Amino acid sequence: MKKKIGITFIILSFALWILIPVIPFLSFGAGLKTAIVSGLFIGGEVFFWLGALLAGKDIVKNFIQKYWKRGKKEDDPS
């Protein structure tokens, strides 16, 4: 159960991060836009790390190997 909640938190964190570039195009004042972006940024980080803690080391490691390093080429020496 903890792993499912952790994975949900990680997915929610990405959703919050995706919303950040949309905020400048909304018709709010500059101060409110700044507050919303700050809240989304902090919320995204908090949800990601809580999700990582709840999901466990193995799931986070598999996630990083599968998605994060996907862009690396196999012949890349680094």
User: Is there a domain that residue 76 lies in?
Assistant: no
pLDDT at 46: 94
User: Is there a domain that residue 73 lies in?
Assistant: no
pLDDT in tens, 9-56: 988 999 999 999 999 999 999 999 999 999 999 999 999 999 989 888
User: Is there a domain that residue 74 lies in?
Assistant: no
Say yes or no to pLDDT of 69 above 90. Answer: no
Overall domain count for the chain: 1
Q: Three-state SS across the chain?
A: CHHHHHHHHHHHHHHHHHHHHHHHHCCCCHHHHHHHHHHHHHHHHHHHHHHHHHHCHHHHHHHHHHHHCCCCCCCCCC
User: Is there a domain that residue 6 lies in?
Assistant: yes
Quote the domain boundaries for residue 57. 2-67
